[in-house]
C-alpha cells in the first residue's frame, strides 16, 4: 500500500501546514513555577487585593545630557518633574493598567537614583498573564521614547516576555533557513546522491510542519511555551533526519547484497528500523521524565518533544519504507560528484563498504583498551570540572541581548537603584493588622528594612512611624509588608533571606513572594523532583537495553556512559554561561554568574535521549555482528566499521541544527542548543568511538551474560533470512577481522 501511504502523507502534510499556520499566536511565555507555590500565591494575592507585587512594566526615565534638553536639577527639575507626571498619567490612563506609580506621582525616594539623574515609573496590568502581555504589546510602542527632557526606556517582566517571544519566533525562522541547506550538504556528502539525500531532509521537513500542527493542537488543552516551538521542532527535525539516515543507509546496503527491493525494505526495517524504534522509546522515556518536574515551561517543552519524537518515529517506520519501496534502486539517482567520492565507488555498493578509518580506530582500541578508556574518561571528567562550582539562578531580563531596551532598562535599575524596587513581599492574607510581626522580620539577617502598615522597621526596632504611604500595606482582605534586602533581587543571598523570613513565626500562614522567593521555590521544586526524574531515566535506559540484548551489564554500561556525557555537558554549560568563557563563540549575551535552574533540566532530558539514540543504533549493530560469530572484539570492530561514518554524519546533522538554534538571541534557547550540541559531539566522538568499544573489550563475554536462560541474543537466529543470497559481492564484504590474542 506504498502509494496509498504516500498519498495520505501528502494530505496530512497539507492539513498540518494549514493547522500550524497560526501556532505563534497560541504560544505563551509560561512561568517557571506552578500557581500552587507560595511565591506565586503571594504575587497573585498582591495583584488581586493590593495592586502591588512584581510590576509588569518598569519605565526608567533619564535626564538627557544634551544642553538643549538638559534639566539642571535632574529629575527634580520643574520641566523633568512635569514630564514625569505626564508619563505617569499616560500609563495610568490606559484601560489595561490597574495601577501606576512613579517617583513624581508618589514621592517615593526609593524610585529616584542616588545621583538624581534617573527615576522610575511602574505599572501593574490587569488580567491574567496573556491579558497583561497583550496590553504590553499595545501600550509600550505608544509610549514616547523622549518625554520632555527625559529619555524613556521600558522594561519589566511583561515587556521582557514580549521581547523574548518576538525574538524566539524570529530566531526559529532564521534557524530553519540555516539548518536546511547545511543538512542537505552533509547528506550529499554521506550518500553522494541527490535523491538519497533529499529523503531524510523530506522526513525532517515533514516533522517541522507536523511539529507546528501538534503544538497548535496541544495549545487547545494546555498552555504551550514559545520555547517549546523552538526546541521541540528543531529537535524533531534532527531526530527525523537521523532516523532516516540510518534506515536509508541500511536499505542501500541490502540492495548492495542483491536483495529485491521489497526484501531490502523489510530487512532494513527489521534490523535498523527495530533499533530505531527502541531508540525512539528511549528518547520518549527521557522526555517523559521531564513531566516529573511540575514547572509549566518544562512540561510544555516535554509535551512538544514527546509529540515530535513520536512523529519522527512514525515517519521513519511508516512513511520512509513506503518511499523506499517506490524508489527502489532509484534512491541512488542524480549522483553528485565531488571530493567526498574520491577513492570510493558511489552507489549502493558503497553503502555496504563501511569506513576503514573506523575499523582501524576500533582495532587500536581493542589493542589498548585500558589506556584508551582511561584517557577518554579523564578528558570527560576534565570537561565536567566546572560543575564543581555551579551556582543556579533564575532568568531575568538578561536573557535578552544587552542592547535590547528591556534588558538595558533592567541594567539601569541594577546599576542606579537599590533593591527596594523589587523587594521580598510578606503577605498575611486574612489579618487586618501585622502587630509585632514586621519588627521580628526586620531582625532577620540580610534584611535592610521592612515597611508595613504600622511603620518602618530595621534591625529589630521601629525606625519610622506610619505615614501616608503606609496605608497601602493594609487592605480590606489583609495586610502585607515589603522587606528590602542588601543583595540583588535574584541573588542566592536574597533566596536565603526568603527562606529565613518563612522560618519566622507568623500570626497566620504567611506567603513570602518576590524574586528571591521565586528562586528559592524554583530550586526546591527542581531539587525535590530531580531524583525521581533521574530514576525514571535510569530504569528506562536499563530496561530498553535489556529488552534488546538481554544483558544487564550493557544496560549499566549505557547508563554510566550517558552520565559521563551529561556531566561533561553541564561542565561546558557552566564554563560558557556562568563563567563567561568562550561565550563569544556562541554569540553575544550577558553573563550573570549563575546558571538558570530550569533550562539545564530540559538539556538533561533532551541530551539523555539523544545519547540513548546513538547508543541503541551502535549497540544494535554490534549485537547483530556478535550473533554471527560470537566474538566480542570482532563484533565491536565490525559494528564500528559499519556505523562509525554514519554516527559522524548523524552527529554532524544534529550539531548543525543545534548550532543554528544557538544563534538565537534569547539566552535560554541558546543554552539548550549549546548543551545538546555539546552532548552530541562528546557522545559521537569520545563515548561511542572510544569508551564504548574499550569497555566492551574489557568486559569480554560478560557483556552478553543474561539472568534468563534464553536471552534475546541467544533466541534470535544469527543466520540471514533464507531469501537472502549466501554471498555478498566483494565490494560489500566486511573487512578481515583478527580475533587472536593480539587484539
Please report the pLDDT score of residue 738 as a whole number: 38
**Cα 543 to Cα 34: distance, rounded to the nearest angstrom:** 32
- If phi over 0 gives left and psi between -120 and 50 gives alpha, with beta otherwise, what is residue 587? left
3-state secondary structure 107-118: CCHHHECCCCCE
Q: In whole angstroms, how far apart are CA 281 and each of 390, 436, 537, 688? A: 32, 58, 11, 20
Determine how β-strand 511-513 pairs with β-strand 447-452.
Answer: unpaired
- If phi over 0 gives left and psi between -120 and 50 gives alpha, with beta otherwise, what is residue 590? beta
Residue listed under C-alpha cell 517549546: 228
pLDDT tens-digit series, residues 702-731: 888 877 655 545 444 444 443 333 333 333
In the numeric block, which cell numbers belong to residue 675?
548543551
pLDDT tens-digit series, residues 46-89: 988 887 888 899 999 998 765 445 556 688 888 899 999 999 99
**Cα 61 to Cα 362: distance, rounded to the nearest angstrom:** 65
Least confident of 215-229, 341-355, 496-510, 568-582: 341-355
Mean pLDDT for 12-19 is 83
- Judge whether residue 348 has pLDDT over 50: no
pLDDT tens-digit series, residues 437-447: 999 999 999 99
**Closest by alpha carbon to 311, among 433, 172, 207?**
207
- Judge whether residue 140 has pLDDT over 80: yes
Alpha-carbon 18 to chain mean position: 27
Phi and psi at 70, nearest 5°, equal -70, 145
**Closest by alpha carbon to 42, among 396, 426, 419?**
426
Mean pLDDT for 526-532 is 87
- Judge whether residue 20 has pLDDT over 80: no
**Closest by alpha carbon to 404, among 656, 33, 153, 52?**
153
Please report the pLDDT score of residue 568 as a whole number: 94
Please report the pLDDT score of residue 743 as a whole number: 29
Please report the pLDDT score of residue 91 as a whole number: 92
Please report the pLDDT score of residue 439 as a whole number: 94
Please report the pLDDT score of residue 416 as a whole number: 84
Please report the pLDDT score of residue 614 as a whole number: 77
**Cα 735 to Cα 353: distance, rounded to the nearest angstrom:** 9
Please report the pLDDT score of residue 658 as a whole number: 87
pLDDT tens-digit series, residues 612-666: 877 888 888 888 888 887 888 888 898 888 888 877 888 888 888 888 888 888 8
- Judge whether residue 505 has pLDDT over 60: yes
In the numeric block, which cell numbers belong to residue 75?
529629575
- Judge whether residue 378 has pLDDT over 90: yes
**Closest by alpha carbon to 210, among 313, 300, 301, 327?**
313
- Judge whether residue 420 has pLDDT over 70: no
Please report the pLDDT score of residue 727 as a whole number: 34
Q: In whole angstroms, how far apart are CA 517 and each of 38, 48, 275, 492, 566? A: 8, 19, 46, 10, 29
Mean pLDDT for 12-22 is 81
- If phi over 0 gives left and psi between -120 and 50 gives alpha, with beta otherwise, what is residue 404? beta
In the numeric block, which cell numbers belong to residue 235?
529537535
- Judge whether residue 349 has pLDDT over 50: no
Asked whether the beta carbons of 155 and 407 are under 8 A apart, the reply is yes
Return the beta strands (E) in 133-230 as ranges.
Answer: 146-147, 150-155
Asked whether the beta carbons of 544 and 278 are under 8 A apart, the reply is yes
Element (H, E) at 356: helix 356-367
- If phi over 0 gives left and psi between -120 and 50 gives alpha, with beta otherwise, what is residue 465? beta
pLDDT tens-digit series, residues 544-588: 888 888 888 888 998 999 999 999 999 999 999 998 887 777 777
Which is more confidently placed, 342 or 529? 529
**Cα 692 to Cα 376: distance, rounded to the nearest angstrom:** 10
Asked whether the beta carbons of 211 and 229 are under 8 A apart, the reply is yes
Please report the pLDDT score of residue 714 as a whole number: 46
Residue 477, SS3? coil
**Cα 194 to Cα 188: distance, rounded to the nearest angstrom:** 6
Please report the pLDDT score of residue 725 as a whole number: 36
Please report the pLDDT score of residue 47 as a whole number: 86
**Mean of the per-residue pLDDT values for the chain?**
84
Amino acid at each position: 500500500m506504498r502509494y496509498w501511504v504516500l498519498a495520505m502523507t501528502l494530505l496530512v502534510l497539507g492539513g498540518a501546514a494549514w493547522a500550524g499556520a497560526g501556532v505563534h499566536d497560541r504560544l505563551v511565555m509560561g512561568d517557571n513555577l506552578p500557581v500552587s507555590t507560595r511565591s506565586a500565591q503571594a504575587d497573585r494575592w498582591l495583584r488581586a487585593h493590593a495592586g502591588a507585587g512584581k510590576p509588569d512594566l518598569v519605565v526608567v526615565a533619564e535626564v538627557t545630557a544634551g544642553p538643549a534638553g538638559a534639566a539642571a536639577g535632574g529629575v527634580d527639575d520643574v520641566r523633568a518633574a512635569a514630564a514625569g507626571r505626564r508619563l505617569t498619567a499616560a500609563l495610568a490612563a490606559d484601560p489595561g493598567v490597574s495601577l501606576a506609580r512613579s517617583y513624581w506621582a508618589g514621592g517615593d525616594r526609593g524610585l529616584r537614583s542616588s545621583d538624581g539623574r534617573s527615576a522610575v515609573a511602574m505599572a501593574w496590568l490587569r488580567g491574567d498573564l496573556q491579558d497583561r502581555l497583550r496590553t504590553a504589546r499595545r501600550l509600550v510602542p505608544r509610549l514616547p521614547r523622549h518625554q520632555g527632557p527625559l529619555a524613556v526606556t521600558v522594561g519589566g517582566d511583561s515587556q521582557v516576555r514580549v521581547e523574548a517571544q518576538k525574538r524566539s519566533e524570529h530566531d526559529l525562522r532564521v534557524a530553519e533557513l540555516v539548518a536546511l541547506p547545511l543538512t542537505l550538504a552533509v547528506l550529499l556528502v554521506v550518500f553522494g546522491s541527490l535523491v538519497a539525500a533529499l529523503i531524510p531532509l523530506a522526513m525532517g521537513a515533514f516533522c517541522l510542519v507536523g511539529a507546528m500542527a501538534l503544538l497548535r493542537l496541544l495549545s487547545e488543552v494546555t498552555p504551550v511555551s514559545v520555547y517549546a516551538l523552538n526546541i521541540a521542532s528543531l529537535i524533531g527535525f534532527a531526530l527525523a533526519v537521523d532516523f532516516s539516515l540510518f534506515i536509508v543507509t541500511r536499505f542501500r546496503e541490502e540492495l548492495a547484497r542483491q536483495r529485491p527491493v521489497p526484501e531490502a525494505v523489510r530487512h532494513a526495517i527489521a534490523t535498523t528500523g527495530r533499533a530505531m524504534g527502541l531508540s525512539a522509546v528511549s528518547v520518549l522515556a527521557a522526555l517523559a521524565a521531564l513531566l516529573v518536574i511540575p514547572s509549566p515551561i518544562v512540561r510544555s517543552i516535554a509535551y512538544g518533544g514527546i509529540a515530535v519524537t513520536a512523529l519522527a518515529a512514525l515517519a521513519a517506520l511508516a512513511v520512509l519504507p513506503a518511499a523506499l519501496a517506490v524508489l527502489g534502486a532509484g534512491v541512488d539517482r542524480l549522483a553528485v560528484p565531488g571530493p567526498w567520492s574520491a577513492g570510493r565507488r558511489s552507489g549502493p555498493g558503497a553503502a555496504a563498504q563501511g569506513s576503514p578509518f573506523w575499523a582501524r580506530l576500533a582495532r587500536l582500541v581493542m589493542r589498548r583498551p585500558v589506556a584508551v578508556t582511561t584517557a577518554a574518561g579523564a578528558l570527560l571528567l576534565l570537561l565536567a570540572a566546572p560543575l564543581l562550582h555551579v551556582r543556579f539562578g533564575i532568568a531575568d531580563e538578561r536573557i535578552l541581548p544587552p542592547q535590547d531596551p528591556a534588558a538595558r532598562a533592567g541594567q539601569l535599575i541594577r546599576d542606579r537603584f537599590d533593591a527596594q524596587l523589587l523587594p521580598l513581599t510578606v503577605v498575611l492574607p486574612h489579618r487586618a493588622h501585622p502587630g509585632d510581626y514586621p519588627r521580628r522580620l526586620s531582625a532577620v539577617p540580610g534584611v535592610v528594612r521592612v515597611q508595613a502598615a504600622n511603620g518602618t522597621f530595621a534591625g529589630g526596632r521601629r525606625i519610622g512611624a506610619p505615614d501616608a504611604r503606609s496605608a497601602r500595606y493594609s487592605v480590606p482582605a489583609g495586610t502585607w509588608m515589603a522587606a528590602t534586602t542588601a543583595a540583588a533581587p535574584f541573588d542566592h543571598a536574597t533566596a536565603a533571606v526568603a527562606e529565613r523570613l518563612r522560618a519566622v513565626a507568623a500570626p497566620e500562614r504567611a506567603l513570602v513572594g518576590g524574586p528571591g522567593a521565586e528562586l528559592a521555590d524554583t530550586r526546591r521544586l527542581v531539587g525535590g523532583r530531580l531524583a525521581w526524574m533521574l530514576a525514571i531515566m535510569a530504569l528506562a535506559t536499563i530496561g530498553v537495553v535489556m529488552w534488546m540484548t538481554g544483558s544487564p551489564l550493557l544496560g549499566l554500561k549505557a547508563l554510566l556512559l550517558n552520565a559521563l556525557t551529561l556531566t561533561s555537558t553541564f561542565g561546558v554549560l557552566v564554563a560558557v554561561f556562568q563563567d563567561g568563557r568562550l561565550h563569544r563563540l556562541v554569540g553575544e549575551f550577558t553573563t550573570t554568574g549563575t546558571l538558570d535552574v530550569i533550562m539545564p533540566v530540559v538539556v538533561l532530558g533532551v541530551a539523555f535521549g539523544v545519547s540513548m539514540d546513538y547508543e541503541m543504533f551502535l549497540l544494535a549493530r554490534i549485537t547483530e555482528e556478535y550473533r554471527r560469530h560470537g566474538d566480542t572484539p570482532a563484533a565491536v570492530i565490525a559494528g564500528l566499521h559499519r556505523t562509525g561514518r554514519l554516527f559522524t554524519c548523524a552527529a554532524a546533522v544534529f550539531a548543525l541544527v543545534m548550532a543554528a538554534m544557538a544563534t538565537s538571541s534569547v539566552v535560554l534557547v541558546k543554552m539548550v542548543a549549546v548543551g545538546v550540541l555539546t552532548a552530541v559531539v562528546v557522545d559521537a566522538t569520545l563515548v561511542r568511538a572510544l569508551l564504548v568499544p574499550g569497555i566492551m573489550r574489557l568486559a569480554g563475554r560478560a557483556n552478553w551474560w543474561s539472568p534468563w536462560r534464553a536471552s534475546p541474543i541467544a533466541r534470535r537466529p544469527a543466520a540471514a533470512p533464507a531469501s537472502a543470497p549466501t554471498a555478498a559481492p566483494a565490494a560489500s564484504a566486511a573487512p578481515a577481522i583478527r580475533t587472536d590474542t593480539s587484539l
